[in-house]
Amino acid sequence: MSKRVNTVAILGLGLIGGSLARALRERDFCERVIAYGHREPSLRRGKEMGIIDDYTLDLDEVVDRADILVICTPTLIAANVLAEILPRLEGRDNAPVVTDAASVKGSLMTAAVKACHGEFPPRFVMGHPIAGSERSGVEASRADLYENHRVIITPVKENDPSALSLVRDMWAATGAEVVDMDVAQHDAVLAATSHLPHVLAYALVDALAQTEGSEDVFRCAAGGFRDFTRIASSDPVMWRDIAIANKSALLDAIDLFSDHLGQLRTAVASEDADGMHETFTRAKAARDRFSVILAERGQDK
């Protein structure tokens, strides 16, 4: 029986793209998965590891061969790749569906509209798998990376319904829970739950690293500090680009957080035991509810 989708092309074969390729091949979603990129060694490695069927360094070739093009490059590069691809699809019959996995959607939407003379391209579907790792590269990829994780699709009114449905089906095939969200809401939610925590972890570790006797400071840190700061080991280039791409929502999140921290500082300074107890208790209740959500998904460890 032939499959609905012939060829999925991964543009940028790292952790995200490699894991998608593995999942689609393992779940038999398409006839073949090919990859495109600038760096032949990772592509060759992906083929040797059996993660992809084939690869090319030629953008025209990948656009010709694929039914779905998935841009899996870091956030700012995704906008550049999009600007290269979209003009190649104009006026074409059976143009492939284009989608992405970037962490910020508003800036990508702007880039797409700019690349298409002011109109959003109907067959470009914006998506974002909420999964990752502080590790990166095709070697770190895993077929089960998206299982029981959310993939957020941010549809716009110009979207072709068949393109939306194909992208939703692709992510569902990886075992992910596919949900829709408005572009601005996506960027605000991700700023709060992901981009802000990364900035806070980087700020804390950098502040301590610059303290006198910092080696000893780190030697006295325990499990709480280890978990709290784990994301400060993430790729600096990737997070710099995300911070720039989602600047406005991130600044809002920083300000909301700083406001709450300021209130807690006042409570500490005035030894307001009741105020602290109230805040800590409310936060613990919310975090405990989050633990229940994680346990339901088997992601509590």
Q: Which of residues 139-198 bind a second copy (CB under 8 A)?
A: 149-150, 152, 181, 185, 189-190, 192-194, 196-198
Amino acid at 281: T
User: Do residues 103 and 243 touch, judged by C-beta distance below 8 A?
Assistant: no
Closest CA to 156 of 130, 186, 192: 186
User: Of 34-42, 43-51, 77-85, 225-233, which part binds a second copy (CB under 8 A)?
Assistant: 225-233
Tell which one of 40, 58, 182, 206 touches a second copy (CB under 8 A): 206
Tell which one of 38, 39, 92, 260 touches a second copy (CB under 8 A): 260
User: Of 36-44, 59-67, 115-123, 125-133, which part binds a second copy (CB under 8 A)?
Assistant: 125-133
Residue 243 binds a second copy, judged by CB under 8 A: yes
Encoded tokens for 141: 């990829």
What residues from 269 to 288 belong to the interface with a second copy (CB under 8 A)? 269, 271, 273, 276-277, 279-288
Q: Give the distance, in angstroms, between the CA of residue 140 and the centroid of all CA atoms in the same chain.
A: 15
- We find the least distance from the C-beta atom of residue 156 to a second copy, in angstroms, to be 19
Number of amino acids touching a second copy (CB under 8 A): 96
Residue 89 binds a second copy, judged by CB under 8 A: no
- We find the least distance from the C-beta atom of residue 205 to a second copy, in angstroms, to be 4
Cα 281 from Cα 49, distance rounded (Å): 49
DSSP class per residue in 250-266 = HHHHHHHHHHHHHHHHH
Which residues face 177 on adjacent strands?
A: 150
Cα 296 from Cα 301, distance rounded (Å): 12
Cα torsion 275, 281, 284, 290: sign: negative
Tell which one of 1, 119, 226, 298 touches a second copy (CB under 8 A): 226
Residue 247 binds a second copy, judged by CB under 8 A: yes
User: Of 7-15, 38-46, 94-102, 130-138, which part binds a second copy (CB under 8 A)?
Assistant: 130-138
Residue 20 binds a second copy, judged by CB under 8 A: no
Cα torsion 248, 250, 253, 257: sign: negative
